[in-house]
Chains A and B, each alone.
Chain A
Amino acid sequence: METNNTLVGEPVLPTIPGAEFPIYNHPPVSPHPVFKTDRVQTIDIIRGVALLGILMMNIPIFSSDYSRIDAILRGPHNTTDFITIQTVEAFFGGTMRALFSMLFGAGMILFTISKKETHGGVTVAEYYYRRLLLLVLFGVINAYVFLWEGDILYYYGLCGMLLYPFRKAGAKWLFVLGILCIGIGHLKGMLQYNDLREKRAAYVSAIATEKNKKKLTDKEQEAKGTWLEIEKNQKPDTFRTNRNIREMQGSYPTVFSHLLHRNSDSETWGMYHGMWDMISMMFIGMALFVLGFFSNKLSGSTYRMTLLLGYGLGIPIGWIFFKEGYVGSLELGRYVDAWRVPHWALYDLRRFLLAVGHASVILLIYRSGAIKWLMKALANVGQMAFTNYLMQSIICTIFFFGYGFNYYNKLPYHRIYFVVAAIWVFQIIFSVIWLHYFRFGPFEWVWRSLTYWKKQPMKISKNEMTI
Chain B
Amino acid sequence: MAYSLSDPELTDGLKSQEDLKSTPVKTTLRIESLDILRGIALLGALLISIWTFGGFSQNMQTKLLLHPSGGNYRLFAAVSLLFEGKMRAIIALVFGAVMVINFSKANTINALSNADVSIRRFMWLIAFGLLNAFLFLWTNDILFHLGVTGILLFAFVRMKARGLLIAALLTTLIYCGKNYWRYQDDNTTYKKYLSVVAIEKSFKKDSTDLLTKNKKKEPLVKPTATRASTLKKDSSAQKKDTLTRQQQEDKSAWEGLVKNMKYDSTADARQAKQMREGAYGTLWNTILPEAQWREAGWTYRTGIWDLASMMFLGMALFKLDFFTGRFSNSRYLTIALITITAGLLLGWYRLYFHNAMLLDYAKFIKRYPIPHNLFFPLERVFLACGYAALIIFLLRIKLLKGLFSALADTGKMALTNYLVQSIFFTLFFTGFGMTNFGKLEQHELYLLVAEVWMVQVIFSTLWMRFYYYGPFEWLWRYLIYGKAFPNKKTVSATPEPAIAAII
Q: Given A120-B18, A161-B151, A164-B119 in contact, is the A5-B296 Cβ separation under 8 Å?
A: no
Complex Cα gap A161–B18 (Å): 27
Q: Given A3-B4, A4-B111 in contact, is the A165-B154 Cβ separation under 8 Å?
A: no
Q: Say yes or no for B157: interface residue by CB 8 A criterion.
A: yes
- Annotate B19-57 by CB proximity to A: 1 below 8 A, 0 otherwise: 110000000000000000000000000000000000000
Interface residue tally for chain B (C-beta within 8 Å) = 45
Closest CB of chain B to A97's CB: distance in Å?
21
Residue of A nearest to B480 (CB): A7
Evaluate contact between A272 and B292: CB separation under 8 angstroms: yes
Closest CB of chain A to B315's CB: distance in Å?
14
Evaluate contact between B20 and A120: CB separation under 8 angstroms: yes
Q: Say yes or no for B231: interface residue by CB 8 A criterion.
A: yes
Residue of B nearest to A125 (CB): B115
- Annotate A89-116 by CB proximity to B: 1 below 8 A, 0 otherwise: 0000000000000000000000001001
Closest CB of chain A to B230's CB: distance in Å?
9
Evaluate contact between A5 and B4: CB separation under 8 angstroms: yes
Evaluate contact between A126 and B111: CB separation under 8 angstroms: no
Evaluate contact between B152 and A7: CB separation under 8 angstroms: no
Among A262-270, A375-383, A419-427, the stretch that binds chain B is A262-270
Complex Cα gap A73–B19 (Å): 62
Residues of chain B within 8 A of A269, CB atoms compared = 296-297
Closest CB of chain B to A369's CB: distance in Å?
32
Evaluate contact between A125 and B154: CB separation under 8 angstroms: yes
Residues of chain B within 8 A of A244, CB atoms compared = none
Q: Say yes or no for A117: interface residue by CB 8 A criterion.
A: yes
Q: Say yes or no for A219: interface residue by CB 8 A criterion.
A: no
Closest CB of chain A to B287's CB: distance in Å?
15
A120, A125, A267: the one contacting B13 at CB < 8 Å is A120
Q: Say yes or no for B436: interface residue by CB 8 A criterion.
A: no
Interface residue tally for chain A (C-beta within 8 Å) = 39
Q: Given A133-B155, A161-B152 in contact, is the A24-B300 Cβ separation under 8 Å?
A: no
Residues of chain B within 8 A of A24, CB atoms compared = 1-3
Which has the most chain A C-beta neighbours within 10 Å: B111, B155, B300, B301? B155
Complex Cα gap A414–B115 (Å): 50
Interface residues of B in 119-133 (CB under 8 A from A): 119-120, 123
Evaluate contact between A268 and B296: CB separation under 8 angstroms: yes
Residue of A nearest to B296 (CB): A272
Closest CB of chain B to A198's CB: distance in Å?
12
Complex Cα gap A125–B156 (Å): 11
Complex Cα gap A130–B297 (Å): 24
Which has the most chain B C-beta neighbours within 10 Å: A6, A125, A243, A272? A125
Q: Say yes or no for A252: interface residue by CB 8 A criterion.
A: no
Q: Given A1-B2, A165-B119, A271-B296 in contact, is the A120-B14 Cβ separation under 8 Å?
A: yes
Residues of chain A within 8 A of B232, CB atoms compared = 238
Complex Cα gap A165–B118 (Å): 10
Q: Say yes or no for B399: interface residue by CB 8 A criterion.
A: no
Residues of chain B within 8 A of A460, CB atoms compared = none
A5, A119, A120, A126: the one contacting B155 at CB < 8 Å is A126
Complex Cα gap A395–B220 (Å): 51
Complex Cα gap A244–B1 (Å): 59
Q: Say yes or no for A338: interface residue by CB 8 A criterion.
A: no
Evaluate contact between B2 and A13: CB separation under 8 angstroms: yes
Evaluate contact between B151 and A116: CB separation under 8 angstroms: no
Evaluate contact between A130 and B3: CB separation under 8 angstroms: no
Residue of B nearest to A112 (CB): B5
Q: Say yes or no for A168: interface residue by CB 8 A criterion.
A: yes
Q: Say yes or no for B7: interface residue by CB 8 A criterion.
A: yes
Q: Say yes or no for B306: interface residue by CB 8 A criterion.
A: no
Evaluate contact between A168 and B10: CB separation under 8 angstroms: no
Evaluate contact between A3 and B6: CB separation under 8 angstroms: yes
Q: Say yes or no for A88: interface residue by CB 8 A criterion.
A: no
Complex Cα gap A162–B299 (Å): 17
Evaluate contact between B115 and A123: CB separation under 8 angstroms: yes
Q: Say yes or no for B309: interface residue by CB 8 A criterion.
A: no
Residues of chain A within 8 A of B482, CB atoms compared = 6-7
Q: Given A129-B151, A162-B123, A165-B116 in contact, is the A4-B157 Cβ separation under 8 Å?
A: no
Residue of A nearest to B112 (CB): A5
Closest CB of chain B to A187's CB: distance in Å?
13
Q: Say yes or no for A11: interface residue by CB 8 A criterion.
A: yes
B19, B154, B295: the one contacting A126 at CB < 8 Å is B154
Residues of chain B within 8 A of A1, CB atoms compared = 1-4, 7
Complex Cα gap A125–B295 (Å): 26
Residue of B nearest to A161 (CB): B151
Q: Say yes or no for B63: interface residue by CB 8 A criterion.
A: no
Q: Say yes or no for A228: interface residue by CB 8 A criterion.
A: no
Q: Given A7-B482, A242-B234 in contact, is the A272-B2 Cβ separation under 8 Å?
A: no
Complex Cα gap A4–B324 (Å): 35
Complex Cα gap A124–B158 (Å): 13
Q: Say yes or no for A34: interface residue by CB 8 A criterion.
A: no
Residues of chain B within 8 A of A238, CB atoms compared = 231-232
Closest CB of chain B to A283's CB: distance in Å?
14
Q: Say yes or no for A239: interface residue by CB 8 A criterion.
A: yes
Interface residues of A in 119-154 (CB under 8 A from B): 119-120, 122-126, 129-130, 133, 136
- Annotate B243-255 by CB proximity to A: 1 below 8 A, 0 otherwise: 0011000000000
Closest CB of chain A to B272's CB: distance in Å?
22
Residue of A nearest to B249 (CB): A239
Residues of chain A within 8 A of B5, CB atoms compared = 117, 123-125
Interface residues of A in 236-288 (CB under 8 A from B): 238-239, 242-243, 264, 267-269, 271-273
Residues of chain B within 8 A of A6, CB atoms compared = 111, 482-483
Complex Cα gap A271–B6 (Å): 32
Evaluate contact between B20 and A4: CB separation under 8 angstroms: no
Residues of chain B within 8 A of A268, CB atoms compared = 296-297, 299-301
Which has the most chain B C-beta neighbours within 10 Å: A120, A238, A273? A120
Q: Given contacts A5-B112, A11-B4, could you give 11 more A-B pairs where the C-beta distance is less than 8 Å?
A: A4-B6, A6-B482, A6-B483, A120-B16, A124-B115, A125-B115, A126-B155, A129-B151, A136-B152, A239-B231, A272-B296
The 5 sampled A-B contact pairs (Cβ below 8 Å) are A1-B3, A5-B111, A24-B2, A120-B13, A161-B152
* Nearest 9 interchain pairs by C-beta: A120-B17, A125-B115, A7-B482, A272-B296, A119-B13, A129-B155, A268-B300, A130-B155, A3-B4
